[in-house]
Structure 1
């Protein structure tokens, strides 16, 4: 009885995002009320079926309370940011570091969760659960499970004409059934990989070598790959955005590629994918784990280093030298650039010479590849992503409750985070120019994914890729080449400028970096090298 009442309580109190979405899709109440009733019954049966496994008399009250808390928290974020609880979103939540988690907390969240949890907690605490013998209790639990499944199947069959096209055309609805979606996605996240991938690491470095340009080099190459965070291509002035968000890059003769799409809509999906040789389709269907771009570069004999101002490299940098940008900072730098353990990206340029000097000298003599992983425009606390002196657009949204801010304030605070990235990239280019006496430097910047800023009622990112808006997939990519690197790789600027509107994806990054660094390896595909056609021209 507790499980049945609890299931009904969760349906009525923690599924408002689902009802709102059904109303939005259905139009007039007469059109969608039957669907709401059907989905309510399916959600009730699904919750009862799952909770039937907890219908025991001992030690279940804390578990029931945890389910209510989970459902309440999930509802808050679905209402606040229009996210859905698919396995990718659960993975993002589990990999969120304390700083990111702190940015997501608010008094509004505490209130919304308390409104749902406190009545349920009082009832769960007060109810008396009578003990029963094991076999009768097991029989009742199995009966509840079978009854729930039978009613759900009957409802689905009876309403198939309405539900089948609705669910087929709106796949995200299945991930809005609370708490079913969260429990299912969490289970899928941990169970599916056991059947899909072997767990072994496949080496791809055999046959890797440095190309002919290294034989007679006077200076080794120095290539900085900046992995951006949550940047939208359509908010870069370089790409035609009306606001001047990229003044520093515009001064430095960079090339901005305007039609680049990401591998995923979140960091966990995109970063491992963009450094993989497999491409999006191959990466998502792989049965084994593979070495990555940085492994190939290191196997070629180059000095490779990953510097992170984010919540980790998602496994990409495990086999190469790496460090957190926060590590080893002096007190003055922390005070100037950091808020707790969260720092502006400028911090990555501090002590950068010393970090590179610590790499093996024999590798540095061949060449250096430095990957810098930004904090960038990570939301929802966008106001933390820019320094006071770069806040060009005011007033800002100064809360993580984005729905409380007007559209203009939200645009201002997000655009200021892009201005901060612009300054950081400008400073990175200036640092590279200062290395020109001992290196041939170059830089490639590309964001991991985009961001929704209220379009279609969506905020943040992480919507499943198949129906995510373009704002979460259209990302900026910017390159800068010194004269030395251009001559070294015989790059034609006019050719590169002619290709700025060519359609590219994260699939191109692996092969483009290998091409720029002149690393030969069996996994390199010239057709996916965005600059291959512009070498040895002019």
Structure 2
């Protein structure tokens, strides 16, 4: 029996083991990670790599030289890593961790590119602007540096992350692990903050922009603020305004008012030669002697999404930001007063302002007529002259009974929208050469960048000149006026800042001081009893977007409870009949 048993076991013992051993070794699974560990690793990567704009900004501070700066930077990095770990640990579960980390990495990579390349800071206003950006605007921001940043900061770690197996951990045990790691991270952040409090508080107080560079926690915080704002205001239609709105009786011999309100985009007041800029950026408007340029006008925000709703509101900036619910706007009130209203857009939309009034886009033809010619529109984007194309037909299509009381046409420009400033003007309107033709602004010299921007101002000047000429052609039917005002300004590399959207409290004047221009026909001045010399004398008065709502009501000869004479920029220059 022993020999039989040995005989039965012998083949197995004699079987060659080398190949099987190698094959078995090759089938060993890679190391499985605890979700808690991977969340902490992701937080460390985000803090160290995705925050390169923050570390660059800290390194550039004059007080951060030597060992002190190194220790401060190390403490900041550990604090950022610890705080970043806290939200990631909430999602450190097998089904959730990888998608959530991937989202964090992508958001951080995009934010890092724009913060590092353009000096953009992320707050709730900037995030709101991003959410309202259309495909056309987003396409203009695509660049090789953005793609490289996405690849290095987000792409490679996402590929590595997706290849890592996650260990199956019992739910209670994993919850305790995540809780312990979160408590440790919070304790580390608090301990380091206390140890470095004097240096940390002083640096953050003197350099407020640093807090907006903490990536991606700045985006998470901004998103939370937006969500809170959305929930704080009641759902449903906006609160009606102008319930007693009425058109004033026209003086004897007067015609219905026709107000052309041109909303500029990204124009800087200090780049208008009408305001003293040494370059001839306003050759067309300079020909009109009955025109006034107001040189000290402050915007309501530093982005279109922030400024447009605010400047058309009946509330001043402070009250608008603190409002408990949304209300109707200037266009609603004008329409309720019986006037004809039309919003014509050559941008990414009216941000909800024109939803309840007639509106159209330059990419849409006038009903029954042709669209703008190919020379003005290509690839879904139009030059601003398209706003004037077929404007007679658009005016004629409005309700004639309303036109008899008055008309307000709003033209929303593409203006000087960046970063592709060179695309905002045609070849015939580029007097300043060479100009920057890249959307990677750092690839251009500052002189070429300013040339491209100034060419866009020259083109806006041409469009406004032709708009006034169009109004003059309707002098027999209307008392005409043009009011132009930009939504916000733009940074052109000053102090390393580009584009716009900085938090308002720390934004430079370049992003907040905007041009405002008024032209009135002789008949309009007469019917409004407007003293031209008085208006000219007030060109240097301190004005803001707060004045727009009330000034337009004054020009359109409309009154309502919401009208405030002290915020009508022309009220002091009108006689009793105006």
In the alignment, the residues of structure 2 paired with residue 161 and residue 64 of structure 1 have an alpha-carbon distance, to the nearest angstrom, of 33
Unaligned runs of 5+ in 1: none
Render the CA deviation track for 1:187-216: whole Å, top value 9, x for unaligned. 22123331356666222212211223x264
Residue in 2 aligned with 1:233? 269
Q: Is the aligned partner of 1:183 residue 2:220?
A: yes
Query: What's the secondary structure of 1:265's corresponding residue?
Result: coil
Match of 2:125? 88
Of 84-93 and 140-149, the range deviating more from structure 2: 140-149
Larger Rg: 2
SS in 1 for 2:295: strand
Separation of aligned partners in 2, 1:36 and 1:135: 37
Q: 2:170 aligns with which of 105, 125, 133?
A: 133
Do the aligned partners of 1:199 and 1:288 also contact (CA within 8 Å) in 2?
no
User: CA–CA distance in 2 between the matches of 1:204 and 1:192?
Assistant: 21
Is the CA contact (8 Å cut-off) linking 1:199 and 1:289 kept in structure 2?
A: no
Over residues 108-145 of structure 1, what are the superposed CA-to-partner deviations in whole Å (9 max), with x where a residue is unaligned?
Answer: 21122212233312321222211122222222222222
Residue 367 (1) aligns with residue 406 (2): yes
Distance 2:235 2:253 in 1: 42
TM-superposed CA distance for 1:167, in Å, is 2.0
State the 1:479 CA deviation: 0.5
Q: Hey, what does 1:465 align to over in structure 2?
A: 504
Within a 5 Å distance, the mapping from 1:314-333 to structure 2 comes to: 314-328=351-365, 333=372
Match of 1:276 among 313, 327, 343: 313
Structure 1 range deviating more: 452-461 or 353-362: 353-362
* Preserved contact between residue 363 and residue 371 of structure 2 (Cα < 8 Å): no
1:7 to 2:46 alignment? no
Q: Provide closer, same or farther for how the CA distance between residues 118 and 518 of structure 1 changes in structure 2, counting only shifts above 3 A.
A: closer
Secondary structure of 1:456's aligned partner: helix
User: Aligned match of 1:221 in 245, 251, 257?
Assistant: 257
CA distance in structure 2 between the partners assigned to 1:130 and 1:21 by the alignment: 39
Moved more, 444-453 or 4-13: 4-13
Distance change >3 Å, CA 188–CA 389, structure 1 → 2: same
Q: Distance in 1 between matches of 2:71 and 2:330?
A: 52
Match for residue 78 of structure 1 among 91, 115, 138: 115
* Structure 1 residues 14-68: Cα deviation after superposition (integer angstroms, max 9, x where no partner): 1111011112334442243232122211210111101101211225323322221
* 2:348 corresponds to: 311
Aligned mate of 1:382, from 398, 421, 434: 421
CA RMSD of aligned residues (A): 1.7
Asked if the contact 2:254–2:523 (Cα under 8 Å) also holds between the matched residues in 1, the reply is no
| Matched ranges for 1:330-479 at <5 A | 333-479=372-518
Query: How far apart, CA to CA, are the structure 1 residues paired with 2:218 and 2:449?
Result: 30
Alignment partner of 1:54 out of 91, 95, 99: 91
Greater Cα shift, 446-455 or 176-185 = 176-185
Q: Find the residue that maps to 1:350 and give its secondary structure.
A: coil
Q: What TM-score does the superposition give when structure 1 sets the normalisation length?
A: 0.96
TM-score normalized by the length of structure 2: 0.90
Aligned in 2, Cα 1:537/1:191: closer, same or farther, shift over 3 Å?
closer
Aligned residues: 537
* Equivalent position SS for 2:319: helix
Matches within 5 A, 1:281-292: 281-292=318-329
Measure the CA separation in 2 of the matches of 1:110 and 1:10.
Answer: 17
Question: Bigger CA drift: 85-94 or 241-250?
Answer: 85-94
Whether the aligned pair in 2 keeps the contact of 1:344 and 1:385 (CA below 8 Å) is: yes
Aligned counterparts of 2:384 and 2:182: Cα–Cα separation in 1:
52
Matches within 5 A, 1:164-183: 164-183=201-220
Q: What's 1:494 paired with?
A: 533
Aligned partners of 1:58 and 1:131 also within 8 Å: no
Bigger Cα displacement from structure 2, 408-417 vs 154-163: 154-163
Is 1:245 aligned to residue 281 of structure 2?
yes
The CA distance in 2 between the partners of 1:8 and 1:350, in whole Å, is 56
232-241 vs 175-184, which deviates more? 175-184
- Secondary structure of 1:476's counterpart equals strand
Unaligned runs of 5+ in 2: 1-36
Q: CA contact under 8 A between 2:88 and 2:100: conserved in structure 1?
A: no
> Whole-Å Cα distance in 2 between the matches of residues 28 and 133 of structure 1?
46
Q: Measure, in 2, the Cα distance between the counterparts of 1:382 and 1:437.
A: 38
